[in-house]
Structure 1
């Protein structure tokens, strides 16, 4: 089968469109014929091995997983003998190492039935970014109806889903984005917009979800109420060795000495969270906005576009 592979850390010049063996289901696996695969920052981090501290988990010299990609949506091709939740022909979505390929395989617990409201493109864009947004708001942020919520990076892959979820939870949402994305964020449901290119961040908020990774902690804390929550998402920004992890660690340590709750979020795929996302998508509460699609051989172009920053919504790789 065809796949996007990588044998050493680096930029997209390290990626190849080549043949690899078909994955096997084993006892508990689900083999999926990939229809679409989402593009999110984790793909870039695994490709480059940055921040370099992440190589402790990814692999010291090269990525342990040779095929790139993570989010997936497709049709079940085969299941292992112990799998009872799915059968061939089922439409599913979820997370699997190596989704930039014609076929991908993972344990059944990594998948959910695809919401009928979503096409394959939207379903493929939802898992990692959606679980990050939901975990940041619900679990780390303890979001409650009636709160004032500030979402920094509101037009991006995680941010545009967080705006929808925050409105679903009954909050007053202020989205921070560039002026060219203001109408897009308003259409998602944001009550207020701050154009970071021309305006200063102002106001007081019960919850701040920050995807940008560049603003100093004192500035963000000044925007919080006395008992508000700040959730720092991902490892963007900072140096090549530690990225934004330094700021996230300082926030975690500082939280012990203040009534404000300062949380660092490095969301990992969780079956319960993916199940909740599927329910929310089925109810129409959240839906990814796809701004561009790429055929599988052009996956490198999709990652390059993501790396430039200031993305709007999600990009998706079309495989079938």
Structure 2
């Protein structure tokens, strides 16, 4: 089968389209014939091995342990191991795995769910990691409630477009922050108000926010807290930049250190994906409350370009690789 492989850490240039052996499902595995694969920032981190703690987390210290790139997947079950229940060959599924930029990929049943009936494979592949991060940031870390004023930074990106829609589905009044090129998009997916950060500082607004979900931002905690109500909640959902060791996670560490000493509820987001959360998202999607925003699709051999364009900040919503 064909797959996007890497033998060493580095830029997109280390990725190569190669012919490799088709994987075989073990007792606890699900073998998926991949139809589409989502592109997210996590793919870049695993490709580069940055920040360095990524390598220490089991992905390989000197070279990648998992050589096929890609995490988000949508496709058809090809085979299941003897211990797998609830899925069978022929089922259309979506979720995450290790190595979705390939014609076939192995996953575990706890990382997959039936594909929403109203989505194409390309749309479904755009959901898992980004939408789960948005759901956990709002529902679990942020404990969003109906009637709250919620601010979403990075509202035009992969996680942000889901966060705007999920917050609306929970009954919040949503303000999205994005660049000029994404203002119309953020408004079109349901934001009650949109702030173009190139023209306005949201922290200067007199009206405070009950909850801020800050997605991959670089703003200081002091700036973000100025936009909160006195008892408001700030959720830091990762970050980019910050060097080879911290890689943007320094603000999450700051949140943990500062939280006991302030009235604001400061929380880092540690996201993951599960069948249960995917099923919640399926309900929102099939009810029409959440719709994936797919900016562009790339054929498998152009997956390196998809990652390159994502890092350049070009994505309005999500990029997807088709197989």
Q: Please report the TM-score for the alignment, with normalisation by the length of structure 2.
A: 0.96
Query: Which residue number corresponds to residue 51 of structure 2?
Result: 51
CA distance in 2, matches of 1:199, 1:258: 27
- Of 305-314 and 97-106, deviating more is 305-314
1:5 aligns with 2:9: no
How many residue pairs get matched?
A: 319
Query: Which residue number corresponds to residue 250 of structure 1?
Result: 254
Which of 217, 220, 241 aligns to 1:216? It is 220
1:86 aligns with 2:90: no
CA distance in 2, matches of 1:108, 1:268: 15
Query: Which residue number corresponds to residue 22 of structure 1?
Result: 22
Q: CA deviation at 1:139?
A: 0.2
CA distance in 2, matches of 1:99, 1:66: 11
1:191 aligns with 2:192: yes
Give the SS at the match of 1:3: strand
Where do residues 42-191 of structure 1 align in structure 2 (5 Å cutoff)?
Answer: 42-57=42-57, 58-191=59-192
CA distance in 2, matches of 1:148, 1:314: 26
CA distance in 1, matches of 2:318, 2:275: 22
Q: Please report the TM-score for the alignment, with normalisation by the length of structure 1.
A: 0.97
CA distance in 2, matches of 1:304, 1:160: 20
> Does structure 2 conserve the Cα–Cα contact (< 8 Å) formed by 1:51 and 1:241?
yes
Give the SS at the match of 2:231: strand
| Gapped regions of structure 2 (runs ≥ 5) | none
Query: Which residue number corresponds to residue 205 of structure 1?
Result: 209
CA RMSD of aligned residues (A): 1.1
> Does structure 2 conserve the Cα–Cα contact (< 8 Å) formed by 1:117 and 1:284?
no
> Does structure 1 conserve the Cα–Cα contact (< 8 Å) formed by 2:94 and 2:114?
yes
4+ residue runs over 6 A deviation: none
CA distance in 1, matches of 2:266, 2:32: 39
Give the SS at the match of 1:293: strand
CA distance in 2, matches of 1:261, 1:272: 26
CA distance in 2, matches of 1:199, 1:219: 13
Q: CA deviation at 1:310?
A: 4.8
CA distance in 2, matches of 1:273, 1:141: 16
CA distance in 2, matches of 1:101, 1:212: 28
1:279 aligns with 2:283: yes
